């Protein structure tokens, strides 16, 4: 009998709508692969537990994004319940979601990252930035470029808004140049894609609105930079202990070279998403990618 897969999507983060798109696409693909598929839209923990007990899935396909989905929270719950799940485990997810911790891992692995410092919005306004303009302000833990601001002059600080001014943020040197990303599947980098938004930077709108960002695949960068980008992505994937798939975002210019910005341990699987596009470029299909993630599902065993 084929495996029963519960596709989990929705959730509590700012990326809820993207998660629902990912979940719908994955569920359809897995049905086409012959799996028995159930779907659950996460709105509260009690209903999730009830669904898990009722469905008794062999695997949970984790289509959640952002906080409570790819930061170790749902991973810890499924580890305790001993239900295998797709993507990375608790430790890799928690560290990968924390941009400041990820930078420490990068430095220890010899991966170039921008100069940066952790602070809060309140402290930033009171004490000023620890570096010259331009710099980037972003949450320490969030995905899909949610809450990211480029500060080019003092007046720009006024546009920075977070519900909690004591929330941890990262102030980071702005690296100009080409926006790159590299997907890694089972330890092997797929290729390098350059994202060219029509205007501004590669923010949430640019990522998930059709037609406003051009994907150049493979990226038109020097061969040495191309190999460096592939190597950085594989090295960070290994250093965090990621399972199955990850995607590392970078910037490139001639002066700074390739600089890693962050890693996504649960990259999107929407029609505009980059990892499915890269997998297709190297000869795979969306359906096959979903199958691989399902077959590679793991949980931390209780010994």
The percent helix, strand, coil of the chain (3-state, each to 5) is: 35, 25, 40
Q: Is 144 a catalytic residue?
A: yes
H/E stretch holding 190 reads strand 188-197
**Radius of gyration over alpha carbons of the chain, in Å?**
19
Annotated active-site residue in 89, 141, 183, 247:
247
How many other C-beta atoms lie within 10 A of the C-beta of residue 127? 9
Annotated active-site residue in 264, 273, 277, 291:
264
Annotated active-site residue in 88, 249, 251, 252:
249
Annotated active-site residue in 10, 15, 69, 277:
15
Q: Is 249 a catalytic residue?
A: yes
Is 13 in a helix, a strand, or coil? coil
Annotated active-site residue in 11, 69, 116, 268:
268
Which tokens go with 242? 């990621």
Q: Is 268 a catalytic residue?
A: yes
Residue 9 in contact with residue 20, Cβ under 8 Å? Answer: yes
Closest CA to 187 of 224, 258, 250, 235: 235
Residue 57 in contact with residue 6, Cβ under 8 Å? Answer: yes
Annotated active-site residue in 39, 203, 262, 277:
262
| Residues acting as catalytic residues | 15, 144, 208, 247, 249, 262, 264, 268
């Amino acid at each position: 009998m084929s495996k029963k897969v519960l596709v989990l999507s929705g959730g509590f983060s700012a990326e809820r709508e993207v998660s629902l798109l990912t979940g719908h696409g994955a569920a359809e693909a897995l049905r086409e692969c012959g799996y028995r598929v159930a779907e659950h839209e996460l709105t509260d923990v009690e209903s999730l537990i009830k669904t898990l007990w009722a469905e008794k899935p062999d695997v949970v396909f984790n289509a959640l994004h952002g906080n409570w989905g790819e930061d170790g929270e749902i991973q810890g719950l499924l580890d305790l319940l001993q239900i295998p799940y797709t993507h990375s485990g608790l430790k890799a997810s928690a560290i990968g979601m924390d941009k400041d911790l990820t930078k420490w891992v990068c430095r220890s692995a010899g991966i170039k990252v921008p100069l940066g410092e952790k602070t809060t919005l309140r402290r930033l306004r009171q004490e000023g930035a620890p570096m010259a303009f331009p710099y980037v302000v972003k949450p320490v833990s969030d995905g899909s470029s949610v809450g990211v601001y480029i500060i080019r002059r003092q007046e720009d600080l006024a546009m920075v808004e977070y519900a909690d001014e004591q929330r941890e943020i990262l102030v980071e040197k702005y690296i100009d140049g080409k926006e790159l990303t590299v997907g890694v599947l089972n330890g092997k980098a797929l290729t390098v894609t350059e994202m060219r938004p029509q205007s501004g930077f590669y923010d949430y709108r640019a990522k998930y609105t059709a037609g406003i960002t051009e994907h150049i695949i493979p990226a038109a960068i020097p061969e040495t930079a191309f190999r460096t980008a592939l190597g950085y992505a594989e090295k960070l994937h290994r250093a965090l202990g990621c399972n199955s798939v990850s995607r590392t975002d970078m910037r490139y210019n001639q002066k700074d070279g390739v600089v890693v910005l962050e890693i996504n341990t649960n990259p999107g699987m929407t029609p505009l998403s980059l990892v499915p596009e890269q997998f297709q470029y190297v000869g795979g299909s969306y359906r096959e990618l979903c199958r691989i993630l399902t077959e590679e599902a793991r949980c931390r065993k209780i010994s």
